[in-house]
Amino acid sequence: MRDQTMIGPWVRRFLLEYLITDRNLARNTQISYRDTLVLLLPYLNKVSKTPVDRLTIDDLSPSLVRSFLEYLEKERGCSGVTRNLRLAAIHSLARFIGMHSPEHVAWCSTIRAVPFKKTAYLDKPEIDALLKTPDLRTPLGTRDYALLIFLYNTGARVDEAVHLTVSDITWGGTPAVRLMGKGNKTRWCPIWTRTAEVLKPLVTGRVAQDFVFLNRLGHPLTRFGIYSLVRRAVAQASQTLPSLTQKLVGPHCIRHSCAVHLLRSGVDINTIRAWLGHVSLDTTHIYAEVDLEMKAHALAHCDFPDVVSTKPWHTDQGLIAFLKAL
């Protein structure tokens, strides 16, 4: 009878069967999950003083997961986004084990209860400052503006922006773009009139298979090119808006900002899930929690404490209901 407590066989099945066959995740996601385990297993070996091939599922405890995440941030200098990516891989491994080994369901729950770290997002004035940085009098400035407003409008991942082609954009009465997300899943995302106005001249005269965002040499813009573009825009915008210097801003931060701003404007959580291409609604709920915390903070510091204390939301449940209705 196979020993279900050893973590090694589970890791093998997770990487070679579950991610590839069952989930059909994109190659980059598979590599990211593998890299997480490349870091996690030696760390687990070091802390528990147990050879890697003798590690058990119980050796991977919630406290150790938190310790590992702290190690990533403090010793490896990883950002909050990277920390969350590593934790997402660990959550996925725990879920896989829990689904196939009933005796480990309780363990799975404790691992998946380790929370994601709320990552930075930009307020509307900061987004506006970012969009004002490109020089629209130049072709490269026009491209930079088109890319920035596209990222904010759609909440697209970097890979999705890199691989966007002319044929992925539909114009007509309701402009929209088709995005190829994780697991080769496609989704349609509406684009604003302003976004369509800057994208249309950018792709005029090109064939359907051409990529939308090109560099100065006419080659497709790379992931690193987009990261560099966003960093330059942030550095320039921070001269007029110093609050940007306090945040680690990249393309994924703009994606977070899109989600939070959609939520604030009254878009329901399921629509945001479809908009961003999330597989699980749990991922989208992170933005709802961020928005609720901000509203709770605003409520706690309002100028009318006497009025607030007399309202039905003075209880915890009433407060939550009230905040959701704001």
Domain(s) of CATH 1.10.150: residues in the chain? 7-112
The predicted pLDDT at position 262 comes to 83
pLDDT in tens, 4-24: 789 999 999 999 999 988 888
With 80 as the cut, is the pLDDT of residue 232 above it?
yes
Does domain 124-275 match CATH 1.10.443.10? yes
- CA separation, residue 174 to residues 127, 275, 299, 325 (Å): 24, 15, 38, 30
Lookup: tokens for 86: 């590593």
Which part of the chain is CATH 1.10.443.10? 124-275
Q: What is the pLDDT of residues 33-75, one digit of tens each?
A: 999 999 999 999 999 999 998 999 999 999 999 999 999 999 9
Predicted confidence at residue 123, as pLDDT, reads: 87
The residues facing 186 across adjacent strands are: 180
Domain 7-112 top-level CATH class: mainly alpha
Chain centroid offset of residue 66 CA: 20
Residues in CB range of 259: below 8 A, 6 or more apart: 121, 155, 272, 275, 276, 284, 287
**To the nearest 10°, the Cα dihedral for 65, 67, 69, 71?**
-140
Which residue, 41, 313, 283, 4, is CA-closest to 155? 283
**Cα–Cα dist 212/169, whole Å:** 9
Residue range 163-210, pLDDT digits in tens: 999 999 999 888 999 998 776 778 888 899 999 999 999 999 999 999
Greater model confidence, 80 or 234: 234
Q: 245-268: per-residue pLDDT in tens?
A: 878 788 888 988 888 888 777 777
Contact between 145 and 136 under an 8 Å Cβ cutoff? The reply is yes
Report the pLDDT value the prediction gives residue 3, as an integer from 0 to 100.
Answer: 62
Average pLDDT score over the chain: 82
Range with lowest mean pLDDT among 38-47, 82-91, 312-321 = 312-321
